[in-house]
Chain A
Amino acid sequence: MLRPDTASATMGAAATAPDALAVDRYRDPAWRGRVFWMLAGVALLAPALVAVEFKVWLLFAPENLKVTLRFLADSLPPAVAGDFLAMVLRETWRTVAIATAAMVLALLLAVPLTLLSCAALSVSSLSGRMHPLAWAMRQAVRALLVVLRSVPELVWALVFVRVVGLGPAAGVLAIALTYAGMLGKVYGEILESGELHPARTLLRNGSGRLQAFVYALLPGNARELTSYSVYRWECAVRSSAVLGFVGAGGLGQQLDASMKMFNGGEVATILVAFVLLVALADAVSAQLRRMLG
């Protein structure tokens, strides 16, 4: 932490602050470090800028600029024809439907996987170490969760579009698989970081694992679990809007189609719908989480 007197002197504040603190011989003691890290950053960044072909001036080349400006001018009165708006509304609802259906499937998949992998429900670890077999099973389920969530949902969608064909089903399955992986991991973490005493007491007194979960872990962590699930639903809405780009239905697919036809007005309308949808999901999610306390 810098002392204020050094600080005021460093930035050439002598000119602005005519007080006794400002003496030229105080220098920023961290100056060398700052310069070093700045230069190191630039040196690291330079090859990366080459790799991403960072030619920003291309954006302002006359022919590109002309296309961009034409597109922007085209988009200025957004398309508001009645049937187009109805279509956008329908696709918006479909986007929400894809996200919601996917969340239900993800929950159906994630809850059993959480129960299988959660170390807080281990009976053998109540007295000493966890049984090796149980340990191996939990690790295997965790590995499955890692695989599920480390493949991006867009890649799952590409896979499912080829298996079940174009349409919302591919989007639902893609989001469901990725989100099952995320939910399973986070649910496990929430349960294990919460108060373990009630569950341990029940298990010690001979209750089953499911009973210990329903009567101890679930009531203790319900709020946090619900809040995270609602937040994930909000993320799913965003994801499902994007998955349309690979043919999984919803707003993304319409956006893709309008972009390919270079129809700026339609693109503008869909983008506005998009921003409003995300804001709405955001607000609903915040409201639900506030109701939970």
Chain B
Amino acid sequence: MNVPTPTLPGPVGALPARPPRRWQVPLMLAGMALLALASFVEVGVEWRRLFTHDAAQRMGRFLGEMVDPAREPAFLARLGVAALQTLAMSAVGTLLAAVAGLLLALPASRVPGQPASRWRQPTRWLLNVLRSVPELVWAALLLISAGLGPLAGTLALALHTTGVLGRLFADAIENAPDGPAFALRATGLPRAQTFLYATLPQALPQLLSYTLYRWENNIRAAAVLGVVGGGGLGQMLSFHMGLFHMRETGSILLATIALVALVDLLSNVARRILNP
């Protein structure tokens, strides 16, 4: 490499010591390359079929019909109702999750300087399980007991998000500055009041911004939950797409994108107000 040597103070021409070679890096890269290769073999994408005239034509027709979205008033009214339902699903799901997450975060967090409660690890396992099952799978499971409709979707969002928020909340509570809580504990206040008047106010801005961030995520998730029967825009989408109503599909996709953008905007504004 002929990178120009910077003129350093010290002995002329003394290059800085070569960084140590790490054998892990080539090994890691080789492993990744192997994994990628094996993956392509396993998946077996038929590239030739993808770039045929036929596929291009189908894709073209698909996109062409979507360019002219459906605008009939009756359809737009239904679309509006579905969009509101999706919005409500995301909001209710996130709120329920914020409350449940906070309740679970209490046993899952430890007071600095004190031994962890024996509920900490089991609660964290529960949160992990809630978190690692995606919303869509929760929705599919809940369809059995809640039936088709937005209730299953909302509860699914709430369950998954509880796992995510509970974990984040627990960490935020553990990392909150301990001074005020220590002062209140020293006056002999019970733990609930110490939490409500010292720890919670300290951690609240962070908890709120996590909740808003999850809301942005959940509006995306709520928009697709309907595909398995969870109500809202997704249900309309899978219905019309299943019947190859491409103009309606185009409108629904545009509405989804607009709704996601709207929630992103609202959440950004709220965050700016909360954390000036």
- Chain A contacts to B: CB under 8 angstroms: 1-2, 4, 7-8, 10-11, 13, 16-17, 19, 21, 45, 47-49, 51-56, 58-59, 64-65, 67-68, 71, 93-94, 96-101, 103-104, 150-152, 154-155, 158-159, 162-164, 168-169, 172-173, 215, 238, 241-242, 245-246, 252, 255-256, 259, 267, 271, 274-275, 278-279, 282, 288, 291
B266 to chain A, nearest CB (A): 13
Q: Does B45 contact A (CB under 8 A)?
A: yes
> Beyond A1-B201, A101-B43, A101-B45: 17 further Cβ-contacts under 8 Å?
A1-B180, A7-B193, A7-B198, A8-B193, A16-B188, A51-B88, A53-B150, A65-B145, A100-B39, A151-B253, A152-B256, A164-B50, A168-B44, A169-B43, A245-B227, A246-B227, A259-B141
Q: Which residues of B contact A59 (CB under 8 A)?
A: 145-146
Q: Are A150 and B257 within 8 A (Cβ)?
A: yes
Assembly CA distance A274 to B160 (angstroms): 14
Which one of B70-78, B103-111, B113-121, B127-135 contacts A? Answer: B127-135
Q: Which residues of A contact B190 (CB under 8 A)?
A: 13, 16
Q: Which residues of B contact A159 (CB under 8 A)?
A: 62
Which one of B8-16, B89-97, B168-176, B267-275 contacts A? Answer: B89-97
Q: Which residues of A contact B35 (CB under 8 A)?
A: 100
Q: Are B50 and A68 within 8 A (Cβ)?
A: no
Q: Are B24 and A291 within 8 A (Cβ)?
A: yes
Q: Does B265 contact A (CB under 8 A)?
A: no
Assembly CA distance A291 to B23 (angstroms): 11
Assembly CA distance A56 to B228 (angstroms): 20
Given A45-B92, A151-B253, A274-B137 in contact, is the A58-B146 Cβ separation under 8 Å? yes
B90 to chain A, nearest CB (A): 9
Q: Which residues of B contact A150 (CB under 8 A)?
A: 257, 260-261
Q: Does B238 contact A (CB under 8 A)?
A: yes
Give per-residue flags for B39-74: 1 if the beta carbon is below 8 A from chain A beta carbons, else 0: 110111110011000010011001000000000000
Q: Which residues of B contact A13 (CB under 8 A)?
A: 189-190, 193
A100 to chain B, nearest CB (A): 4
